[in-house]
Amino acid sequence: MKPETIILGGGPAGSSAAILLAQAGYPVTVIEKETFPRFHIGESLLPSANRSFCRLGVLEDIQAGGFLEKRGAEFTTPTRDKEVINQFSDGMRKDLTSAFQVERAKFDHLLLERARGAGAAIEQPARIHQVQSNEGGGWTVSYEKNGQSPQKTARYLIDASGRNRILGKHLKLPDESLPYPKRVAVFAHFRGFPRRPGERAGNIEITRLADGWIWMIPMAGDRTSIGWVSGLQSWKEGSGSPEERFEQTLAETPWLQERLANASRIGPVHMESDYSYSYQNFAGADYFLTGDAACFIDPIFSSGVAFALESGIAAADSIMNHSPQEKGIPLAAQKAYTRRFQKGLQTMRKLTDLFYSDAGYAILMNPKNPFGIVPAFNSVVAGEVRPPFRIRWRLWIILSLYRLNERYHFVPTPPLSPSPQ
């Protein structure tokens, strides 16, 4: 008998685990509180996510799903006097050259329907309010659905509940506080926002400000996601509604002003706050933490969904590889799972530090290419987060230049303020 798994949450992490388990004939139930399609943030994917789509057998569905192709990332100063374009095809990894910009409402719905089609049971809308570890092994999950409070038991749990982190909070798992200041993100969708020319039309654009940054993510159907990330402290010091302050920040950024002239907002302004955490261990003998339920770092390099998909797949693989053993997932496999994703997390943290430090940002905005360090950087931002040696040592040079610049200031920081300094 194949053991049963309950998956808490039906975002990309939950759906990817469910697809694999169901395809292999394992009984699996996903419990998701929202009715899909629903809005969710996290719209710019990395090329490395395509590996997961191939593994899940959904690449063709995604290609046919009407999502915009993304070929790179562009960094622009607020006054647009400096612009750095990272095309993935210029990277060292020739298999990581393009990705997708996705409207999450459609994307998450597609994946969850694939899980259903593969044979997963989907409880939706159903809000989990309690998880309990059973004495003889396994778990009981209690949830609310249609005014009822049913319970379900299973041998394994996969927490894919995103930043709600149901299991981590329930088990009071030790988490690592990441040394990042708290931040606030305010964002909305627009229509009529002009695209970059030619092959760059699907690129994400990022403009760093003194205490935050702005993203512009083009999507299919003339839709563009625009978001503003601000330090929580400076957010608290300001006044006005999130909507007013968002519009004011966009209006004050010259590079955006001209492009917003004929654009209009087509949905509500959303807000998220207070993020960046990581649990110390991502797995136990009968559970896995996946995606944001395991860790969340700053979204600047768009790694969240790629990590969610990959960790969902790895959790399902581990259950399938080890479930015949009475005692559940062996300690070595639990540790290997944590190590694998912590390693990727460390790489993303180094890039995040580089971006937020003025000295590091100066290096990022003045790319020089001794020893081919720029193609190496392109591959890492394409999602090569556990890079082989030939990319790793080049990344080390970039990070060393940043540390040296912190000390000796040999590369000036480009303008961070919309107005002349």
Which chain residues interact with ligand FAD by CB under 6 A? 9-14, 31-34, 40-45, 127-128, 160-162, 164, 166, 185, 272, 275, 291-293, 299, 302-306, 308
Residue 368, phi then psi, degrees to nearest 5: -115, 155
Q: Min. distance of Cβ 305 from ligand FAD in angstroms?
A: 3
If the CB atoms of residues 313 and 401 are measured against ligand FAD, the closer one turns out to be: 313
If the CB atoms of residues 103 and 247 are measured against ligand FAD, the closer one turns out to be: 103
> How far does CA 28 lie from the centroid of its chain?
24
Size of the chain in residues: 421
Quote the CA–CA distance of 289 and 299 in Å, as a whole number.
19
If the CB atoms of residues 40 and 114 are measured against ligand FAD, the closer one turns out to be: 40
Q: Min. distance of Cβ 139 from ligand FAD in angstroms?
A: 14
Q: Min. distance of Cβ 327 from ligand FAD in angstroms?
A: 27
If the CB atoms of residues 78 and 383 are measured against ligand FAD, the closer one turns out to be: 383
If the CB atoms of residues 125 and 375 are measured against ligand FAD, the closer one turns out to be: 125
Quote the CA–CA distance of 219 and 227 in Å, as a whole number.
14
Among 290, 289, 298, 312, residue whose Cα is nearest residue 350: 298
The burial of 236, by beta-carbon neighbours within 10 Å (0-12 exposed, 13-18 middle, 19 or more buried), is given as exposed
If the CB atoms of residues 3 and 227 are measured against ligand FAD, the closer one turns out to be: 227
Tally the C-alpha atoms within 13 A of residue 369's C-alpha that lie toward its C-beta. Answer: 9
Q: Min. distance of Cβ 344 from ligand FAD in angstroms?
A: 13
> Which residue type does 90 have?
D
Cβ atoms 277, 319 nearer than 8 A: no
Q: How many other β-carbons are positioned within 10 Å of the β-carbon of residue 310?
A: 26
Cβ atoms 85, 45 nearer than 8 A: no
Q: Min. distance of Cβ 102 from ligand FAD in angstroms?
A: 9
Q: Min. distance of Cβ 227 from ligand FAD in angstroms?
A: 6
